[in-house]
């Protein structure tokens, strides 16, 4: 007798109950998906996500107590591995880039959520990105900037995975002490990595690495 295929577990956080209910109904029309919890605000969402550990968390960007960005960062800091999909009414490219910078995999406009939510959940659960088709040009732009940066700084290809990770954390303006604590290494080791990054990228001066990382955060 064959075993039942496990459903993709989904958590939904949005402060509008009618929208949340409608989204849940659309998601559960797919027999391979199951909504295991929902919340009306960011703080309640964090508590439930910690307890339920869904495969995918669908989060409104604007919520009481914790917005989507704060919630996503805290989930990452806590080591919660749920794939994250942001829902938003806003089309600003800066918000899109901020979301991808913190590891968000899905980015949906609310006016197209009904059509795209199931496909986005399945994509994010598989470790892929899913962007509302109306915003696909933002992803192309982001990739183009990353390609130009690779040409300008070929030393990026020489960075080890740990050095790339530390460079990304520097772009988030984390101190060496904070990076060391998060990676369970010494501050001395972090500083050695910083020196290696500067050498490979040909960066000189006390704040050159920080300026470079912040300026190119969306391309790293």
Contact by Cβ (8 Å): 69, 42: no
Token code pair at residue 139 = 């992803």
pLDDT per position as a tens digit, 148-159: 777 777 878 889
> Under CATH, domain 8-137 is a member of which superfamily?
Response regulator (3.40.50.2300)
For residue 67, count other CB atoms closer than 10 A to its CB. 15
pLDDT per position as a tens digit, 169-193: 998 889 999 999 989 999 999 999 9
pLDDT per position as a tens digit, 206-217: 789 999 998 888
φ, ψ for residue 4, nearest 5 deg: -70, 140
Radius of gyration of the chain (CA): 19
Percent of the chain with pLDDT over 70: 98
Q: Which band of pLDDT confidence, cut at 50, 70 and 90, is reported for residue 4?
A: low
Where do the CATH 1.10.10.10 domains begin and end in the chain?
145-219
Please tell me which residue, 217 or 107, carries the higher pLDDT value: 107
pLDDT per position as a tens digit, 52-86: 999 999 999 999 999 999 999 999 889 899 999 99
Contact by Cβ (8 Å): 118, 33: yes
Burial class (CB in 10 A: 0-12, 13-18, 19+), 141: middle
Query: Is residue 144 classed as helix, strand or coil in its secondary structure?
Result: helix
Where do the CATH 3.40.50.2300 domains begin and end in the chain?
8-137
98, containing H or E segment: helix 93-101
pTM beyond 0.75? no
- Domain 145-219: top CATH class: mainly alpha
Query: Is residue 85 classed as helix, strand or coil in its secondary structure?
Result: strand
């Amino acid at each position: 007798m064959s075993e039942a295929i496990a459903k993709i577990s989904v958590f939904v956080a949005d402060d509008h109950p009618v929208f949340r209910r409608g989204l849940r109904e659309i998601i559960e029309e797919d027999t391979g998906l199951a909504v295991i919890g929902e919340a009306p605000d960011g703080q309640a969402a964090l508590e439930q996500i910690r307890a339920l550990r869904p495969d995918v968390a669908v989060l409104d960007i604007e919520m009481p107590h914790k917005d989507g960005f704060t919630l996503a960062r805290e989930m990452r800091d806590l080591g919660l591995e749920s794939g994250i999909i942001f829902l938003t009414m806003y089309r600003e490219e800066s918000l899109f880039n901020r979301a991808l910078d913190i590891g968000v995999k899905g980015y949906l406009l609310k006016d197209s959520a009904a059509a795209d939510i199931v496909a986005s959940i399945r994509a994010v659960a598989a470790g892929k990105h899913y962007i509302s088709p109306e915003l696909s040009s933002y992803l192309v732009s982001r990739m183009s900037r990353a390609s130009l940066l690779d040409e300008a700084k070929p030393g990026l290809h020489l960075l080890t995975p740990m050095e790339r990770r530390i460079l990304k954390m520097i772009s988030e303006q984390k101190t060496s002490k904070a990076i060391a604590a998060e990676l369970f290494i010494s501050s001395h080791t972090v500083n050695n990595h910083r020196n290696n990054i500067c050498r490979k990228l040909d960066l000189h001066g006390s704040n050159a690495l920080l300026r470079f990382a912040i300026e190119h955060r969306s391309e790293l």
